[in-house]
Structure 1
Amino acid sequence: MKNIFFLMLISTVQPLLSQTKLEKAITNLENNYGQEKVYLLTDKLQYAAGDQIWFKGFVFDGYNRSTLSTTLFVELYDSDKKLIDWKTVLLTNGEGSGDFKLKADLPEQVYFVRAYTPYMTNFSDDFQIVKTLPVYNPTSTKALEVAKNSDWSAKAFPEGGNFINGTPTKFAVRLYGNVSLPEKWSGKIIDVQNPNVPITTFTSLDKNVASFKITPASGKKYQLIIEDNTGKKQTINLPEVADSGLHVEVSSSNEGIKYSLKGVNLKQQLQNYKIVGTINNHLAYKANITQSTSEVSSTIPTKISNGANGVLQLAIFDEQDNLVAKRLCFIKPNNLKIEKAEIVGQNLKETPRSFNSIDLSPESYFKNYTVLVSEDDGSNTTEEENILSNLWLTGDLSSKIDSPAQYFSKNANTEALDALLISENWKRFDWNSVLSGTVPAIKANSQKFLSYRIKPLKDNALMRNTNVNVVLKLGENEPSINQFRTDQMGYIYLNNLSFDEPLNVSVFANSEKGKESENDHLFVTVEPLVIPTPFKGSLPTTKYTLVTATENKKLPPAISKAINTQKNIKKLEHIDVQIEEVQLTGKKKDPKEELNKQLSSGMFSSVNSTIFDFVNEDQHVAGSTNILDWLQGRAAGLTFQRNNSGINVPYIRGQQAKLYLDETPTDASMITSLPVNNIAMVKIIKGSGLIGNAVLIYTMRGNMKSKSNEKDPQKNNLSVIKGYDKPSEFPIETLDTDDPAKKIENDTRETLYWNPNLYDSDYVPPRIKFFNNDTAKQYKVLIISFDEDDNILYENRVFK
């Protein structure tokens, strides 16, 4: 076929003085269709109410970590699509981590975690990751069960999309199901006019797909009859046989991707047809057929992707630049480019609560690792989804695939992967839309970090084109003074901020000449410009069903262990509190004790309490929007979760705490409206006395005056803004102890080690270190990393 092709192997498109419709479409694709995708790793696949969910997000632009976005939103929904909690995660080199603390009274059901960048909201919600997480609760009136029966349907797809008279055609058969697919299934193809004699038969390659080949005849009608291993059958019609068209055959090897084209009854045969190959919405290959011929073939070398793996979308256009055939294929399916961790030492024991370690090479090209170590009890040996299948498959294909991780495992069936890709379309863009000149509407531009818009009002009037001073104070750091000029709308903008502590923003009007500045009549609001967006997509179907719980409710063994682990943690926390109480005994009374005695009545007095004195001590509360936000991170065992109104609600040891204002029951909304400069004392009581877990707020009385107000009185010209959510620190601990009072009988931790940022520094071997529980004999170790060229390291193995 010499001189038939005019071939270009290219990575970018150069603009031409006079572009054809296809060339304009390629330019449009290159310039306007850049897109991101997310993979979200969690430490477990199922949780108990009260557990901590540890997660790590990886954001990709194509097959490389994205530098486009620096912010990832991660949201937790219940099965009614009600938002439970959300996190704003800082991305560094496309990676970011965080955690959710589940409420102890969370109803048993399937929950969903949505993860996306602001830029991703410009495109279909179908490509935002929505991870399914079953959460169990032994006290719930409902119980999760795995559905026993699955309804499925089937479709048949001719390779390239065309079914032409007299042309042997490969078909992919694809099964779809809301819950799960049958383990095995088979089928036969019949001529409708002669149904008793099968033309050919096939058996499934895996749960998702099968393939067969057939040579059709014009005027014939063909049907496909499928039967699963339970005896369920379905009959579907194959496409009508065409008398003309373009037939496509594609095969992939380590040398490249070979394609063959055959034109049947075409007027000008294949002259002026174009073959376009794209990878991640970028042109990678283009060939023009310059001579009149009915058959051509060629091999696309793997250098179009620099030898890396991925999906190539082939699209064939006729002489009028109309799309006539398309095909997805995987580059080098038999040679996956996956690096393995270089382990230079390990010290692993089966002894209960023993110290274990695994050392990685300090001389590796990989410098930052994500590591998860869990007990391997042999209960779940098959991965359904992993970072490889998300990166190379499901992150770009929105249809549900059963166990996509199998296609990139050690014993992967490459024939099944090819059949799967025949049954799929590249759904990131549609060629006909791109050819028509359609451009995505970019409403959310990518921004570096977080940005805010400040609106100062003086005497309820906008301050347009006015010079002001803005004082920024981050946490306990020294404040900084910055001069700004408001714009024509009266706004000030703070752009590209990265912080994870409360940021106090104060605005001061510049005084007129000879006059003092009057800031008492100045009011300030701050509006974040990088914000979450409502979820418009649908929650994925799951294999679970919710039924009424029986009297003897059974829980999965892993959940029973998780519940026991929670009890162990609470026991240790309670013992630590008792020790603190003993240490306090015999101390001299101080002003704080006198204030507590003055404000507290009998039933609200407890030695098991933490007290914050605002009368005698400067608590640096000025600038805080409300006392509940100020309390975050200031008392051991006290955490906060946002309710539907976005208000922080206090929890103590996983249980929602009662709220009291001057010893009268109240709610969080009432507390948040209370000016912080009116507060005299805050008391945290943990599971003691008649009221149990409680947060008590006491207001000023008589001639009381806050120490904080003496130095830094509350002003309306101040606002506190929240930045990124700071990840909690995973506890690397052992429950073993020589103290009999703190002895834990049964250590049942499943997640033994979680580190989303294990760094290699100063040639010290990165060390994975953890303590065994009481039962683990072997360990599942997952390691993920990327080098400077974004080559992926993926290790998922069992250590004994």
Structure 2
Amino acid sequence: MKNIFGVLLLSMVQPILAQTKLEKAITSLEDNYEQEKVYVLTDKSQYAAGDKIWFKSFVFDGYNRSTLSTTLFVELYNSDKKLIAWKTVLLTNGEGSGDFQLKEDLPEQVYFVRAYTPYMTNFNEEFQIVKSFPVYNPNSTESLVVSKSSDWSAKTIPEGGNFINGVPTKFAVRLTSNASLPENWSGKIVDAQNPNVSITTFKSFDKNVASFTITPASGKKYQAIIQDNAGKSKTIDLPQVADSGLHLVVNSSKEGIKYTLKGVNLKQQLQNYKIVGTINNHLAYKATIKQLSNEASSLIPTKISNGANGVFQLAIFDDQDNLVAQRLCFIKPNDLKLEKAEIIGQSIKQTPRSFNSIDLSPESYFKNYTVLVSEDDGTQKPEEDNILSGLWLTGDFTTKIDNPAQYFSKTANSEALDALLISEKWNRFDWNSVLNGSVPTIKTKSQKFLSYKVKPVKNNALMINSSVILLLKSGKSEPIISPFQTDQSGYVYLNNLSNDEPLTVSLFANSKDDKESSAENLFVTAEPLVNPTPFTGNFPGTKYKLVKASGNKTLPPAIAKAINTQKNIKKTESNDIEIKEVELVGKKKDPKEELDQQLSTGMFSSMNSTIFDFVNEDQHAEGMANILDWLQGRAAGLTFQKNNSGVNVPYIRGQQAKLYLDEILTDPSMISTLPINNIAMVKILKGAGLIGDAVAIYTMKGNMKSKNKGKEAPKNNSAIIKGYDRPSEFLVEMIDENAKIENDTRETLYWNPNLFDSDYVPPRIKFFNNDSAKQYKVEIISFDESDNLLYQNEIFK
């Protein structure tokens, strides 16, 4: 919706022709105020320690998916603003996905996910999304409870911003709180000199807003007396009544946006007043009034937004280009332009552990879907936010809005939405600043993918304006060898990398005869040009508080199910290992078994172990910085968290695992410096007797010959570029009865952030029921090539 120009006015209103200060400000908006916003969908609204958080991110430029950024940082914080983990997410057409594995010993409290693109750091931090959710832990010494009492504040805002003598004026009443708002509230308007007599009354539309209309008299002081359902009362002053000014009234309907202007005691009436409408910082409508008159009105057609929904900002300027009134309204609030998925077949059953499927049309304009299927037991409250509220409200307004999704539900009250927008102000830019010529400082420009600054060093000195050779290798792919010239600072730049597995960068320099390359006395580092930025703001308040846990800790039913699901997963993993061990009985010992017997003592022998043989098998570990980095994602239940030194620390099922080197207890820093070519075997032990959960590393003995012999361990002339974090795979499977699972309690039954129409013909949503679900909540999101939104959130039975 860029550069849309609309003019539809009465005979007294003519288009603006002259280049004025206002015209220059509008041009500045178009050129300098491109901004992004993020919506993050998570598979659940609350978690148990040890759960995995699945997320899908959508990045928008206005109301279209953004093409500005290809990188998104998603960070996980605790309540003390300590960064727990972060992901670098690859964005494709403004969409990207990932996951966080919560540790089992995570303290019970509220946690926060922050998401932003590097380009968003040029603007106010408050526009970065910060999403909160509670995490429960039955072993924590503190418990989360919903705060029963909360303090709140209120304000009254006149439509258009002016309160003028003798002019009926609509007001919005807005309540805000750092915690919870009262369920309902009401109030009355009084003359401060006669507070016992009510001039008018109002009742809240919802927890956020109410509205009323009053005709003021000059010299009077008016007050709003507000009382909530708990009996708490507050008195708020209305603005002072003015004797002159501009009154603005706006009404939005299917036909368009009608505005009416009324001038009171203006010297030149409304002559040469300008009307400017913007959508997402872009001009959508402009006009000027040429005739002498105290009143003007017009209907702005919905074609200014191509019929799409969104927030429209109307600003009125006087003949000197001073801002005199402004108002936000929603385009077509009762006619949301949303597509629904075309379902051509479905098989939905209530039988425990039954297979279910939903088939989508392969002929649809929508080709890529985000799908979430969850159990719906009929007790869940309506969702508090969704992609609609993120796109049209919370992405652009920094004030906390309670349950913003309600404004776009089937039972939405358009009058409540209108009152909410009267109470808000468009803060993506300030008209007065733009009129004065101010523009935002863009320190971080939009970049394609990831870029790195490579610093070659030879004999402890920078290689300035020198020819070097870089060898780039990722996984099993063939290496790429390229010549580079360092700049006057001694750097080489690698731009536009989109790798999602480690990339080894090896440095070579030409020898004196320029015929051979050498790695002697070389050192290289690779630093990303853009890094995550520290969070300096405050997290939004929540409705929860921590109290000391009682003896018998009560958990929400959904959390008790989540904890049982974690136990089921562990049983399944254990069962898989036992089956593999049984299959080996009676078979001839293979070389891996013989190596294990040769290196392991009885204490480190276990049926519940995973072995990686570096003597008899090529593990393709060349190019990896150390064995801990190589182990990432290679064993079920084994995860890693970086410590303060940046070294990976192993965790098994959320608990920190012990590290052994040749069966001697050691620490990660010692292992991180061990050359991989010196390693004979790695053994992952889960619950092994006296050892417990452990990672055991064994070095070469005697005349052992590794499959990697001849492949040198990484030298100082190599550096590792991590790249983007690859999302984990959500497994669509039934809890096997052979795993002795008595009660399947999975809440998230299906998660697919990228269901392509080419994956199946037709595209198929397939999942297995748990043991209790009688109906399923299915959420589907998609965009076509024109960025028309498909959104469906309904119950399937």
> Where does structure 1 lack aligned partners over 5 or more consecutive residues?
9-15
Note if 1:754 corresponds to 2:751.
Answer: yes
**What residue number does 1:342 align with?**
342
**What residue number does 1:370 align with?**
370
Offset of residue 586 of structure 1: 4.5
Secondary structure in 2 aligned to 1:79? coil
| 1:278–1:314 contact (8 Å) kept in structure 2 | yes
Offset of residue 580 of structure 1: 2.0
Secondary structure in 2 aligned to 1:734? coil
Offset of residue 494 of structure 1: 1.1
| 2:50–2:103 contact (8 Å) kept in structure 1 | yes
Offset of residue 132 of structure 1: 0.8
**What residue number does 1:796 align with?**
793
Offset of residue 619 of structure 1: 3.2
**What residue number does 2:360 align with?**
360
CA distance in 2, matches of 1:232, 1:394: 28
Note if 1:6 corresponds to 2:14.
Answer: yes
The one-letter code of the counterpart of 2:29 is L
Equivalences for residues 74-473 of structure 1 within 5 A: 74-473=74-473
Offset of residue 578 of structure 1: 1.5
**What residue number does 2:488 align with?**
488
- Which stretch of structure 1 is more off in the superposition, 651-660 or 82-91? 651-660
The one-letter code of the counterpart of 1:626 is N
The one-letter code of the counterpart of 2:59 is V
Offset of residue 330 of structure 1: 0.5
Secondary structure in 2 aligned to 1:373? strand
CA distance in 1, matches of 2:93, 2:681: 44
CA distance in 2, matches of 1:753, 1:711: 43
Offset of residue 661 of structure 1: 2.7
**What residue number does 1:769 align with?**
766
| 1:83–1:644 contact (8 Å) kept in structure 2 | no
| 2:189–2:199 contact (8 Å) kept in structure 1 | yes
The one-letter code of the counterpart of 2:773 is A
Give the TM-score normalised by the residue count of structure 1.
Answer: 0.96
Secondary structure in 2 aligned to 1:212? strand
| 2:625–2:714 contact (8 Å) kept in structure 1 | no
Cα deviation, 1:15-73, whole Å, max 9, x if unaligned, reads x9x84211111111110100000000000000111111111000100000111111111
CA distance in 2, matches of 1:594, 1:375: 48
Offset of residue 582 of structure 1: 2.5
The one-letter code of the counterpart of 1:175 is L
Secondary structure in 1 aligned to 2:710? helix
CA distance in 2, matches of 1:296, 1:772: 61
RMSD: 1.8
The one-letter code of the counterpart of 1:780 is K
CA distance in 2, matches of 1:670, 1:393: 51
Offset of residue 7 of structure 1: 2.9
Change in 2 beyond 3 A, CA 1:514/1:228: closer
The one-letter code of the counterpart of 1:775 is S
| 1:353–1:736 contact (8 Å) kept in structure 2 | no
CA distance in 1, matches of 2:553, 2:789: 43
Q: Identity over the aligned pairs, expressed in percent? A: 76
CA distance in 1, matches of 2:608, 2:209: 62
**What residue number does 1:12 align with?**
none
Offset of residue 707 of structure 1: 4.2
Offset of residue 260 of structure 1: 0.9
| 1:84–1:643 contact (8 Å) kept in structure 2 | no
The one-letter code of the counterpart of 2:279 is I
**What residue number does 1:13 align with?**
none
The one-letter code of the counterpart of 1:630 is W
| 2:10–2:297 contact (8 Å) kept in structure 1 | no
Equivalences for residues 395-794 of structure 1 within 5 A: 395-513=395-513, 517-589=517-589, 592-700=592-700, 706-737=706-737, 739=738, 742-761=739-758, 764-794=761-791
CA distance in 2, matches of 1:622, 1:389: 48
Offset of residue 687 of structure 1: 1.3
CA distance in 2, matches of 1:144, 1:620: 47
CA distance in 2, matches of 1:461, 1:514: 20
Give the TM-score normalised by the residue count of structure 2.
Answer: 0.96
CA distance in 1, matches of 2:399, 2:708: 57
CA distance in 2, matches of 1:354, 1:703: 55
> Where does structure 2 lack aligned partners over 5 or more consecutive residues?
1-8
| 1:520–1:715 contact (8 Å) kept in structure 2 | no
The one-letter code of the counterpart of 2:419 is A
| 1:624–1:719 contact (8 Å) kept in structure 2 | no
Change in 2 beyond 3 A, CA 1:653/1:709: same
Offset of residue 103 of structure 1: 0.5
Offset of residue 617 of structure 1: 4.2
Offset of residue 292 of structure 1: 1.9
The one-letter code of the counterpart of 1:6 is Q
Cα deviation, 1:280-312, whole Å, max 9, x if unaligned, reads 000101111112221111111111101110000
Aligned residues: 789
Cα deviation, 1:68-99, whole Å, max 9, x if unaligned, reads 11111111100101111111111111111111
CA distance in 1, matches of 2:732, 2:71: 28
CA distance in 1, matches of 2:372, 2:268: 60
Offset of residue 647 of structure 1: 2.8
| 1:174–1:210 contact (8 Å) kept in structure 2 | yes
The one-letter code of the counterpart of 2:191 is D
